[in-house]
Homo-oligomer: A and B are copies of this chain.
């Protein structure tokens, strides 16, 4: 009888290879590669922590409940990925691959679940504030969009901007906000200029009444995101950039619950002089990478 100190159990060393090798010859090679790697890493995870049946079943239940909670307004599976940094990581991976490393385009950040494809186009220097909150600080946001390789200003770039109101809710979450409140779609002029009036953003919690919220609680973490404004910029000629810009002074800037903050995306809201429409100014230039062809 073995009386040595208990060592880590040894599991069937061929099991994972057998599962991966069950993939048939007619599988798409990329599918076979991705799923094969996922199987390897999930099995390694289970062995590394000696995952029990009960623990695994708790995970299955969380995932099933995330799906049951998801609908057109809410994607809980995505949110579960977001709070473990997975969306930020695949965003970084995708954009490194798209753009290459020869020059610096504006950094990307995750899309998040609140983008609307149907925001109407607006003329330059319009306000996107349709429902003004009492504590809103109006900001004149503007900048020049440039080609990342040549620094030349680019005309005709479409810029989608969206943000939540000072109560932390996006318009589709809040019956008291007008439709398309705090959303606008602009086009750069011949000088590459875009400009609009928006609110100074505020921090807000991601929805924390589902499995993602439970996970945050289990990990002793808060659900808050630092104050940010969402941007998508692009055109037929330029790779669309999806990003977020973050207020330097915002709480949670150093511990975003979904890990989207990058140093290059931190911006300054400054007092503005001589503009009766706004109390703050935000200057933000954007550098876009040209599409390969």
Hey, which bits of chain A sit against chain B, CB under 8 A? 1-2, 9, 11-12, 15-16, 18-19, 22-28, 31-35, 37-57, 60-61, 63-70, 75-78, 81, 84-94, 96-97, 101-102, 111, 215, 218-221, 255, 259
Contacts and interface: CB of A to CB of B under 8 A. Distances in A.
5 contacts: A11-B89, A16-B89, A35-B218, A64-B75, A67-B69
Contacts of A52: 90, 93-94, 97
A92 B12 CA distance: 9
Contacts of A101: 2, 9
A66 to B, nearest CB: 6
B77 A221 contact: no
B23 A221 contact: yes
A84 B35 contact: yes
Nearest to A1: B102
A111 B35 CA distance: 24
A96 B259 contact: no
Contact of A63 (B16, B18, B48, B63): B63
Report the copy number of this chain in the oligomer.
Answer: 2
Most buried by B among A9, A93, A215: A93
Contacts of A65: 67
B27 A37 contact: no
A40 B85 CA distance: 10
A96 B9 contact: yes
A27 B70 CA distance: 27
Contacts of A34: 49, 51, 55
A61 B63 CA distance: 12
A85 B1 contact: no
Given A15-B259, A66-B63, A70-B67, A35 B219 contact: yes
Contacts of A90: 46, 51-53, 55-56
A258 B11 CA distance: 17
Given A11-B96, A41-B41, A53-B90, 9 more contacts: A32-B219, A34-B55, A35-B219, A52-B97, A53-B87, A63-B77, A64-B67, A64-B70, A64-B77
Contacts of A40: 45
